Amino acid sequence: MRTQNYSRKRQAIYELLLSTREHPNAEWIYNNLKSDYPDLSLGTVYRNLKLLEENGSIKSVAVVNGCERYDAMTSPHSHFVCNKCGRVIDVFLKNEFSEFTEKVRVEGAKEIESFSLIYYGLCDKC
C-alpha cells in the first residue's frame, strides 16, 4: 500500500460510500459532497477512489453505461444491474454458490484471484 496522509476529503468519500447502498460512480459522489466541500474537485474524487480501491477499502463492482460503480462493502457478494435505469442492487447468495465456484479450474489460468457475478434485468421500479 502506498504511503498516505490523513485527508479529510478522502475520509468523506469513504464514509459516503459506507453510508449508501447506491453503488455510486465518481460523479454521484462528487455531487453529494459538493455542499459540504464546496472546493472539492472531480479529479480528487477519481484520485481517492483509486487510492481507496488499491487499499482494499472499497471495490469497483460494475461498469454501468461506461461508469465505474463503487461499493465500500467489501465482503463477497454479487450484484444485479437494471438494464434500463442502471440501478445496482446487492445480491447475497447462499454458501453452496461459493463452494461451487471455489472448485472451478480454468484452463489457461495460473491463479484465480477473484470473481464477479452480475445479474442483469429490469428492476422493480422500471
Decide if residue 96 touches its own copies (CB under 8 A).
Answer: yes
Q: Write each residue from 58 to 97 as x if it is in contact with DNA (CB under 7 A), else as -, in one continuous string.
A: -----x-xxxx-----------------------------
User: Cell digits for 122?
Assistant: 429490469
DSSP 25-73: -HHHHHHHHTTT-TT--HHHHHHHHHHHHHHTSSEEEEEETTEEEEES-
Decide if residue 42 touches DNA (CB under 7 A).
Answer: yes
Q: Name every residue whose Cβ is closer than 8 Å to that of residue 96 and which is 6 or more positions away in sequence.
A: none
Decide if residue 1 touches DNA (CB under 7 A).
Answer: no
* Binding interface with DNA (CB under 7 A): 2-10, 25-27, 37, 39-44, 46-48, 50-51, 63, 65-68
